[in-house]
């Protein structure tokens, strides 16, 4: 029997490109402020499914660019993280990348009781497969994230309103390591 659910785009791209961020290592929001959405109190239910899609450009330092990490934040909790993704040793200037993650609510409640399970992928010429992302014989055109065993994200309070946000962080602070978001959407799939 049908659940009588529908798909809803929660955050349509506001038609404004984000700022270009560089020279930082602490994870921070990289989307335009007009793309922030506040999810109301008790929005989540077990099984609630959100899809986060981000497209933009990444610039990288030549030779030793380090890594980049993407995070989906619900309030101050890291609901999903890619973990550190190795950047390759070729200099890039604002070349396209895509991030997509599906988050499924696994628990609800106050304090830090609520959580989501997330899995996704990233695509872009600046990302490099590492030992944890390949079996030695096969490679992929997209990197599956996280590169570790899937696990629920940090707990958050689903009984209060929470801002949904998208963060990034580089392991090496350099003016050549940049990220700029061009498109950001979040869909509620049920």
Please tell me whether residue 133 adopts helix, strand or coil conformation.
helix
Whether the upstream peptide bond of residue 86 has omega within 30° of 0, thus cis, is no
Residue 183 has pLDDT above 60, yes or no: yes
In whole angstroms, how far apart are CA 180 and each of 43, 97, 174?
29, 10, 15
* pLDDT for 93 beyond 50: yes
Domain boundaries, the chain: 17-188
Q: Which residue has the higher pLDDT, 163 or 35?
A: 163
More confident residue, 121 or 62: 121
Question: What local confidence, expressed as pLDDT, does residue 89 receive?
Answer: 85
pLDDT, the chain, mean: 89
């Amino acid at each position: 029997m049908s659940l009588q659910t529908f798909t809803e785009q929660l955050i349509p791209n506001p038609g404004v490109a984000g700022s270009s961020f560089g020279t930082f290592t602490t994870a921070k929001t990289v989307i335009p402020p007009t793309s922030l959405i506040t999810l109301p109190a008790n929005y989540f239910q077990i099984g609630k499914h959100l899809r986060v899609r981000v497209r933009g450009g990444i610039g990288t330092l030549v030779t030793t660019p380090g890594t980049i990490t993407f995070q989906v934040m619900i309030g101050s909790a890291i609901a999903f993280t890619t973990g550190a993704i190795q950047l390759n040793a070729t200099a890039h200037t604002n070349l396209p990348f895509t991030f997509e993650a599906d988050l499924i609510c696994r628990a609800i409640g106050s304090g830090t009781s609520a959580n989501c399970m997330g899995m996704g992928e990233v695509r872009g010429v600046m990302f490099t497969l590492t030992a944890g992302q390949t079996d030695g014989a096969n490679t992929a055109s997209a990197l599956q994230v996280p590169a570790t065993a899937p696990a629920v994200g940090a707990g958050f309070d689903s009984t209060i309103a929470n801002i949904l946000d998208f963060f990034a962080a580089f392991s090496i602070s350099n003016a050549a390591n940049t990220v700029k978001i061009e498109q950001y959407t979040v869909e509620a799939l049920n």
